[in-house]
Amino acid sequence: MAKLNTNGNLYTIVYATVIVIIVAFLLAFVASALKPTQDANVAIDKKQQILASLNIRGVEKTETEAKYDAVIKQALVYKADAADVIEGEDGFDVPSKEFKEKRPFYIAEVDGQTKYIVPMTGAGLWGGIWGYVALDDDCETVFGTYFSHESETAGLGARIVEEWFQESFKGKKLYADGDDKTIALSVVKKGKEGTMSPDNYVNGVTGATLTSNGVDEMIKDGLTKYQDILNAQK
């Protein structure tokens, strides 16, 4: 029998190919095995964000499911072009990439009072931003908010995730006095408020004008798309 030439090119190629196949198989197996856990963690994080928009923060992971189920009474899905519910679909399961075709809408109960939650997405300075705006049952007063981002600048635009910024929206009004058709709620640079009513704006993050502008545009665009749904709740 001919002796295997372990120094030859053919042996090297075959050996490398076998190793690559084995490693690829192991990586695929590990990824497949971990996917359910990863998906569960993503779902928990999303539920914590929705709860945060209702000013329910710091919920432990192990308690998130129960708290979400207790507070969120309905997670509806509306058509993109009409205030019609799509039967049989859960709003929680609608990914942001489908927001152009579907509008998820949450109805919650906090301390015996009905709240409505509007999810939204937008663009910051370096990447995507997203958030949730919770409204009182008048559908005009902000009860709470939550915002996050993909890659905004640490210490600047990334501060939209901080509680102080999100809490500055509490009690603000969607509309200016006498106008219930145009979303007036805004994020403006300090000193640029002009004649705006304090009820209709919050100041942006200092030094993060473009990210703040992105949040402003996201809020206006997101809430405008839900006006027909919100009006139907009144």
User: What local confidence, expressed as pLDDT, does residue 151 receive?
Assistant: 95
Q: In this structure, is the dihedral angle defined by the CA atoms of residues 203, 206, 207 and 212, taken in order, positive or negative?
A: negative
What pTM does this model have? 0.85
Characterise 155 by phi-psi region: left (phi > 0), alpha (psi -120 to 50), beta (else): left
Q: What is the DSSP letter of 121?
A: E
Quick check: helix, strand or coil at residue 13?
Answer: helix
- Please tell me the predicted confidence (pLDDT) of residue 8: 63
Q: How long a stretch of residues is the chain?
A: 234
Q: pLDDT tens digits for 90-119?
A: 999 999 999 999 999 999 999 999 999 999
For every residue of 38-69, DSSP letters joined together read HHHHHHHHHHHHHHHHTT-----HHHHHHHHH
Instruction: Give the CA angle between residues 139, 165, 67 to the nearest 5°.
Output: 60
pLDDT tens, 18-47? Answer: 888 888 877 777 777 767 777 788 999 999
b/e sequence 97-109, b meaning 16+ C-beta within 10 Å:
eebeebbbbbbbe
Query: What whole-number distance in Å separates Cα of residue 41 and Cα of residue 92?
Result: 14
Residues of the chain with pLDDT under 50: none
Q: How much helix, strand and coil, in percent to the nearest 5, is found in the chain?
A: 40, 25, 35
